[in-house]
Amino acid sequence: MNEFADAAGNGLTPNELERILREIGLSRYHNRHPLHHQMTSGQLSKGQLQAWALNRYCYQAVIPRKDAMILSHAEDPAFRAEWRKRIEDHDGSDGWNGGIARWLKLATGLGLDRDFVASQQGALPATRFAVGAYLSFCTDKSLLEAVASSLTELFSPVIIGERVPAMLAKYDYVTEDILEYFKPRPVQASRDADYALAYVRQHADTPEKQQAVIDALVFKCDLLWAMLDALEQAYGDHGHIPPGAFDPKQP
Ligand SMILES: O=C(O)c1cc(C(=O)O)c2c(n1)C(=O)C(=O)c1cc(C(=O)O)[nH]c1-2
Residues having CB closer than 6 A to ligand 1 are 63, 150, 152-153, 156, 159-160, 185, 224
Whole-number pLDDT of residue 1: 83
* Percent of the chain surpassing pLDDT 90: 98
Structural domain includes residue 154: yes
Q: What is the pLDDT of residues 208-231, one digit of tens each?
A: 999 999 999 999 999 999 999 999
Structural domain includes residue 3: no
Structural domain includes residue 13: no
Whole-number pLDDT of residue 30: 98
Q: What is the pLDDT of residues 100-140, one digit of tens each?
A: 999 999 999 999 999 999 999 999 999 999 999 999 999 99
pLDDT band at 251 (very low <50, low <70, confident <90, very high): low
Whole-number pLDDT of residue 236: 95
Q: What is the pLDDT of residues 19-40, one digit of tens each?
A: 999 999 999 999 999 999 999 9
CB 148 within 8 A of CB 195: no
pLDDT band at 250 (very low <50, low <70, confident <90, very high): confident
Structural domain includes residue 240: no
Nearest to 166 by CA among 189, 188, 182, 151: 182
Structural domain includes residue 247: no
Q: Which residues contact 128 (CB under 8 A, 6 or more apart)?
A: 58, 120
Is 185 a residue whose pLDDT tops 80?
yes
Atom of ligand 1 nearest to the CA of 163: 1
Q: How far is the CA of 18 from the centre of ligand 1 (A)?
A: 19
DSSP alpha helices (H): ranges in 141-206?
Answer: 143-149, 156-170, 185-203
* Percent of the chain surpassing pLDDT 70: 100
CATH code of 52's domain: 1.20.910.10
Count the domains in the chain: 1
Question: What Å distances lie between residue 45 and 109, 123, 173, 249, CA to CA?
Answer: 15, 18, 11, 12
Domain range for residue 226? 20-235
Structural domain includes residue 249: no
CB 232 within 8 A of CB 239: yes
Structural domain includes residue 229: yes
Residue type at 21?
L
Structural domain includes residue 2: no
Name the residue of 30, 33, 63, 91 to mutate for ligand 1: max ligand atoms within 8 A of Cβ: 63
